[in-house]
Structure 1
Amino acid sequence: MANQRPLNIPFAYRALFLYFEPFSALGGSALLHFFPSLFLNTMSLTAQYAPDNQVIYDQLAATYVLFAFNEAVVLRLTNDIRVWRAILMGILLCDAIHLYGSWSALGSAVFWDPRAWRPEDWVNLGALWGQGFVRLAFLAGFGIQLDTTTKKSD
């Protein structure tokens, strides 16, 4: 049976997935919990914070903590490429839905035109698009060499 273990996950992937993204997710979680109106301003020009909806922000913050945990802890526990791909595919699906929400909130004219982006949009959309492309490259196997040696079953 062929072993599908990466020989070495490139530094760029490790830096992004094991350090930058978990740190960013924890920062987003703190922002959601402690400064939800600032978070909303980053996502939408028109959304208004309502204190009675704090539970929604806290639940989304919990999801960000889960992303941080999965990348910072679970990915460090294994070098099984299937686990890495499964976790990163799940986050990519979340990214796609997040991008759809941003498109819905900002409208096509802003969403598709970086010249119309506010600094907050560069943080939000730039990170989503950029990290999403890196995630796609990883899932496509770009730069990853697999150890495909065969094992004899005993």
Structure 2
Amino acid sequence: MAIPAYYKIFFLWIEPVVTLFGAVAAAFFGHDYLVMTHAETTPSKILGLPIATNIALRQLANLYLAFALNEFFVLRATNDLKVWKSVLAILLVADFGHLLANSQLGLGQYYDVMSWNAMQYGSFLFVYIGAAMRSCFLAGVGFGTKKGRRGAPRSVSKQIQAPTTVEDEFAAVATPSPKEMNKTPAQSTRRRKNRSVSGA
């Protein structure tokens, strides 16, 4: 079954590219990344970030990169729905985990669009979109329904299998049935004569 184009555009292009931006931001602009996440608890830029924080940010960037590359290459390598559903189901779990990780920002952050900055649009809105797309894919939205193919009626099947040549007709007449095999030669001869006369 063909995968609809809008799923391919989102999962093979849009989401991997956006995720790569997140990886670059976490790896090379760590202080700004933390400020946009929660400015009040971010260390001063003059003092610099603690080594542990820098390591955690680079590990986060590495995970974003793995996310993007898996989606970009694994899904592009196949149209097998089982593979797509497996990958997207895992990423859907990651979506909920990502949203749960932001719970310390308060319940209002999940829906207070007017207070969001660029980071929060990525952490909330884009994750909402990604989770919705994955949920729709896993639910089969946009794939249509398979029309069940009913087998041909028995009468039609028999007609298809009926002999169509003179040789086949002769074989059908000349070949004795299991019942005829149990009859005496005289009975079988009379039976075949009757068939020949009725078929003439």
How much has 1:119 moved relative to structure 2? 4.3
Answer with 36-45 or 133-142: which moved more. 36-45
2:7 alignment partner AA: Y
**Residue 129 of structure 1 corresponds to which residue in structure 2?**
128
Written as runs of structure 1 = structure 2, the 5 A alignment for 1:82-121 is 82-104=82-104, 106-121=105-120
Q: Pairwise mapping of residues 1-154 of structure 1 onto structure 2 (< 5 A)?
A: 7-48=1-42, 50-53=49-52, 54-104=54-104, 106-145=105-144
CA contact (8 A) 2:3 2:143 kept: yes
Query: Once structures 1 and 2 are overlaid, which stretch shifts more, 51-60 or 107-116?
Result: 107-116
* 2: CA distance, partners of 1:148 / 1:76: 28
Q: Larger RCO: Structure 1 or Structure 2 (Cα < 8 Å, ≥ 6 residues apart)?
A: 1
Once the two structures are TM-superposed, the CA of residue 112 in structure 1 deviates from its matched residue by 3.2
Which 5+ residue runs of structure 2 have no aligned equivalent? 44-48, 149-200
- How many matched pairs? 143
What is the aligned partner in structure 1 of residue 162 from structure 2? none
Spell out, residue by residue over 1:94-151, the C-alpha distance to the aligned partner (whole angstroms, 9 max, x if none): 11111011222x20123233344334322321101111111111111111258799xx
Separation of aligned partners in 2, 1:46 and 1:95: 25
Is the contact made by 2:27 and 2:61 (CA closer than 8 Å) also made in structure 1? yes
Shift, 1:51, TM fit: 3.5
Question: Aligned equivalents of 1:147 and 1:40: distance in 2?
Answer: 49
Q: Tell me the TM-score normalised to structure 2 length.
A: 0.64
**Conserved? CA contact 1:42–1:124, under 8 Å:** no
Task: Give the Å deviation of 1:37.
Answer: 1.7
Contact 2:33 2:119 in 1 (8 A): no
| Contact 1:89-1:139 within 8 A present in 2 as well | yes
Q: Distance in 1 between matches of 2:118 and 2:76?
A: 33
Alpha carbons of 1:120 and 1:31: their partners in 2 closer, same or farther (altered >3 Å)?
closer
Percentage of matched positions with identical amino acids = 31
Q: Distance in 1 between matches of 2:72 and 2:145?
A: 22
Secondary structure of 1:44's counterpart equals helix
Do the aligned residues in 1 keep the contact of 2:15 with 2:68 (CA within 8 Å)? yes
Q: Which has the larger radius of gyration?
A: 2
Q: Which runs of 5+ in 1 are unaligned?
A: 1-6, 150-154
Deviations 1:15-40 (A, max 9, x none): 11000111111111111110012222
2:24–2:61 Cα contact (<8 Å) kept:
yes
